[in-house]
Structure 1
């Protein structure tokens, strides 16, 4: 991320408070905060729209996909982008992968997208985008819970 080192360090204190496993597993800031899009949109390669299955229909959600905060609804949303459930998060040539996280109540909390080098990229809510070395950096509580599902699509 291009920015002021003092500001970046300030931002990192909050990120590391909310996602302490990132300290162990490694990450870097890649863009400043914005409310234009969230993690679900970012995983779907949309940096213009906020995706969420809100019942009020205020946020974007794919047509004909239930507006529910369930793993099944999130999987269905990503199926509209060509993703299918797969076995693991290993890097596969010619495929792009996403990871859906859930909390202890089985509610989706986050979606990350794999980069061509095998690392992952995430939008932290309305905050910054980060690149993280693996999926474990965002797990836990505090954190996004656990990885519930990996999906992939051909590139």
Structure 2
């Protein structure tokens, strides 16, 4: 019989394991991938039915402004590129040895995603929304695995 009756903690519960970091990093990479979905859908719309232009042209035409598709689709491509780059940066931070930075980087990435999505959901010109809500909702997609990555990262920190 052991002289100590308290259970000993195993190493896996006191320090984050490599598999924990891999899952967190994978969630950040999935967030980056979902950030690219906005660009893919925008490209498909621009090359196909141009629903965004069908929505926006009457808004601008009423004011006598001729808006080209490059401007509106360019904004979507830029928002998508920012989301992808931010989450790739987070994945790099998770992989690095500075693990204390991972939750900070994830919070920053989630804030960037929220700002991008809110801009696409709420931006108005000539008293009308320029982008239909689907574009803002697509910009929110990276937040889902991003939140998973944040929760896992915070869980890793608590287990230490």
Q: Which structure carries more relative contact order (alpha carbon 8 Å, separation 6+)?
A: 2
Task: Name which one, 1 or 2, has greater alpha-carbon Rg.
Answer: 2
Higher strand content, 1 or 2: 1
TM-score, with structure 1 as normaliser: 0.25
TM-score, with structure 2 as normaliser: 0.24
Higher helix content, 1 or 2: 2
